[in-house]
Amino acid sequence: MAQPTLLSIPETISGHVVVAGYGKVGQIIVNILQNQGYPILVIESSEAAIKRLRMQQIPYIFGDADSELVLEKAHLKNASALAIAVCLCWTVQNIRYIRCIRCKNYTLNLT
């Protein structure tokens, strides 16, 4: 099986909403934001979800959103918001996301 492309991000992305997770909730969030005209960037670690994102031509990063490198590649400094749409059982991981984002002094809305 071929490895998925790791990045599909426009070079000049800014004002976008980063959505961490593209499960059921993440897909709903992405749909709502796209219908409102927001530029989207999804961070996802599932190869199946990445295939769906690629087919729908939604910008994505293949990886874990608790990785500082992945968060840097998401251009959070230029983002308008971050939506964390991962399983509730990952609450500790969500706290790490927020701490990592705050320690980088990013100014954006966390939802």
- pLDDT tens string 47-102: 999 999 999 999 999 998 878 788 888 888 888 888 888 765 555 565 666 666 65
Positive or negative, the CA dihedral 8, 96, 80, 104 is: negative
pTM of the predicted model, to two decimals?
A: 0.76
- Three-state SS at 90: helix
Positive or negative, the CA dihedral 32, 3, 88, 80 is: negative
Residue with tokens 């999804």: 42
Tokens standing for residue 42: 């999804």
- pLDDT tens string 21-56: 999 999 999 999 999 999 999 999 999 999 999 999
DSSP state of 21: -
- What are the structural domains, with CATH classification, of the chain? 7-110 (3.40.50.720)
